[in-house]
């Protein structure tokens, strides 16, 4: 380092400031910076301050220049009134590398002082050039009921649109707004936070904006029903949490949000699973003209919705036939769909429900209603890495494997329409596992009147 100091001092003390002389100085300073040997004492005269200004404006060099009090004091000893070049360079650096500067307060104070000496100061300088600058801008916009871009223009900051300082301001602005928008209702701010450059921006040293957006929406939303607009934000940013816990997206987003928030989202998405399952079931029954499917749809819909309304469902998984998947892709955007798997064979769809005291497998067509008191940890429905299981692996195959593990199903119910037999057996099986459910919970009013004639008010 002493060698570099001596060489640079000789260059700058003994030459004038012609363009060639400056280029020699700048090139040498650049080499020192690239070699990670920069220190404040190298800046010893006006020519060196000028060279430093250009180095700071070079994105390949400025990350290797440590901006600290010692360097700023060194500049002040050379230039009592800082030049426009060094003042502009430091201001640019403040906005561009706001999150990477270790002594941000020292730099902010220096910029405020330099702008004052150059008769450039504004009343807002003390607020802007501080570690709380982004928050002040966001709060000012909200207080004045103005959009953030107008506040930036008013404070002559619109030229720094690509900098980290303004990215943080935008992020905080959106987060602050989210805390005030009507709960569980569409709002223009939701369209902003699903933009990738917004939700991937850093909120602080450990979290991205997306994490704060997710926290706010999940915490503010009701437990039962989630509006589609809020649901879309969650799925766009973080995707479905019901994936392998070692997946990149889970690690990036859900791993930082805590189990309580994850479970709340799973509850919402389970309702979405049911909605989609019933939708594809209804569509297939109508388009196929299959009278059996058309007949059975209302009763299965009532049964499954009744189970959900009793708040018995803790989790779910959706297994779609290829035809059902094509239907959903035609009618929904990718970020409107939860995670699902595809049944590799047969044109049948299945929904798995994790209840408080049971596990249920229900399918389209002529699938049995399977009810398990317990499932072994090796059960297929817990394997999120297997995304294309066969139909038999989810039904009879699962039953056989679980029997070997001591977890055989307690009920295998054929959907016989006669005398509402299958609904009766389903209710009895669930009640036998300790769940508070009655026939009136899973049948329509008209069907329940008939049901009572056969089984009484159970």
pLDDT tens per residue across span 358-375: 999 999 878 899 999 999
**423-447: per-residue pLDDT in tens?**
999 999 999 999 999 999 999 999 9
Average model confidence (pLDDT) across the chain? 91
**61-108: per-residue pLDDT in tens?**
999 999 999 999 999 999 999 999 999 999 999 998 888 888 999 999
Tell how strand 341-342 and strand 350-355 pair up.
unpaired
**What is the percent of the chain where pLDDT is above 90?**
73
**pLDDT tier at 288, thresholds 50, 70, 90:** confident
CB 70 within 8 A of CB 103: no
pLDDT at 142: 87
pLDDT at 13: 45
Q: What is the mean pLDDT of residues 271-288?
A: 92
**pLDDT tier at 234, thresholds 50, 70, 90:** very high
- The count of other CB atoms within 10 Å of the CB of residue 240 is 21
The answer on pLDDT for 12 being more than 90 is no
**164-213: per-residue pLDDT in tens?**
898 888 888 888 889 989 999 999 999 989 998 889 877 776 888 899 99
DSSP lists the bridge partners of residue 330 as: none
pLDDT at 232: 96
Q: What is the mean pLDDT of residues 324-347?
A: 94
Q: What is the mean pLDDT of residues 296-302?
A: 93
**What is the percent of the chain where pLDDT is above 70?**
96
**pLDDT tier at 5, thresholds 50, 70, 90:** very low
Structure-model confidence comparison of residues 46 and 10, the more confident one: 46
- The count of other CB atoms within 10 Å of the CB of residue 239 is 18
Chain CA centroid to CA 6, Å: 53
Instruction: Based on DSSP, count helices (H) and strands (E) in the chain, helices before strands.
Output: 23, 6
pLDDT at 239: 96
Nearest to 157 by CA among 109, 105, 122: 122
pLDDT at 4: 42
CA 254, CA 261: separation in Å to the nearest integer?
A: 9
CB 306 within 8 A of CB 430: no
């Amino acid at each position: 380092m002493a060698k570099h100091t001596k060489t640079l001092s000789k260059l700058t003390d003994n030459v004038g400031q012609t363009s060639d002389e400056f280029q020699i100085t700048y090139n040498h300073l650049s080499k020192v910076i690239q070699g990670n040997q920069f220190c404040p004492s190298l800046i010893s005269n006006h020519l060196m301050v000028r060279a430093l200004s250009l180095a700071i404006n070079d994105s390949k060099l400025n990350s290797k220049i440590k901006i600290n009090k010692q360097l700023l004091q060194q500049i002040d000893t050379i230039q009592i009134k800082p030049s426009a070049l060094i003042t502009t360079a430091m201001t640019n650096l403040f906005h561009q590398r706001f999150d990477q500067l270790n002594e941000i307060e020292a730099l902010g104070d220096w910029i405020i002082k330099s702008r004052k000496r150059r008769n450039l100061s504004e009343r807002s300088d003390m607020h802007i050039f501080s570690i709380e600058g982004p928050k002040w801008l966001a709060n000012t916009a909200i207080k004045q009921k103005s959009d953030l871009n107008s506040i930036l223009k008013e404070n002559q900051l619109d030229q720094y649109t690509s900098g980290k300082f303004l990215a943080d301001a935008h992020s905080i602005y959106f987060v602050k707004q989210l805390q005030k928008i009507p709960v569980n209702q569409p709002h223009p701010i939701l369209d902003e936070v699903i933009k990738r450059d917004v939700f991937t921006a850093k909120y602080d040293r450990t979290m991205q904006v997306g994490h704060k957006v997710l926290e706010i929406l999940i915490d503010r939303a009701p437990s039962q029903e989630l509006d589609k607009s809020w649901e879309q934000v969650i799925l766009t940013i973080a995707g479905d949490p019901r994936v392998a816990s070692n997946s990149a997206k889970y690690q990036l987003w859900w791993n930082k949000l805590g189990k309580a928030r994850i479970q709340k989202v799973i509850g919402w998405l389970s309702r979405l699973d049911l909605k989609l399952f019933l939708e594809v079931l209804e569509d297939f029954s109508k388009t196929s003209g299959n009278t059996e499917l058309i007949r059975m749809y209302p009763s299965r819909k009532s049964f499954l919705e009744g189970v959900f309304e009793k708040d018995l469902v803790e989790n779910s998984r959706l297994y779609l036939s290829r035809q059902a998947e094509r239907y959903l892709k035609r009618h929904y955007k990718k970020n409107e769909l939860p995670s699902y798997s595809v049944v590799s064979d047969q044109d049948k769809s299945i929904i798995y429900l994790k209840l408080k005291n049971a596990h249920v497998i229900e399918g389209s067509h002529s699938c049995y209603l399977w009810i398990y008191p317990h499932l072994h940890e090796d059960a297929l429905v817990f394997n999120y890495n297997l995304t294309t299981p066969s139909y038999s692996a989810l039904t009879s195959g699962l039953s056989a494997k679980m029997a070997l593990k001591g977890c055989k199903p307690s009920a295998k119910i054929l959907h016989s329409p006669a005398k509402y037999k299958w609904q009766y057996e389903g209710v009895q099986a669930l009640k036998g596992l300790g769940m508070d459910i009655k026939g009136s919970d899973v049948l329509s009013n008209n069907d329940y009147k008939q049901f009572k004639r056969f089984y009484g008010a159970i």
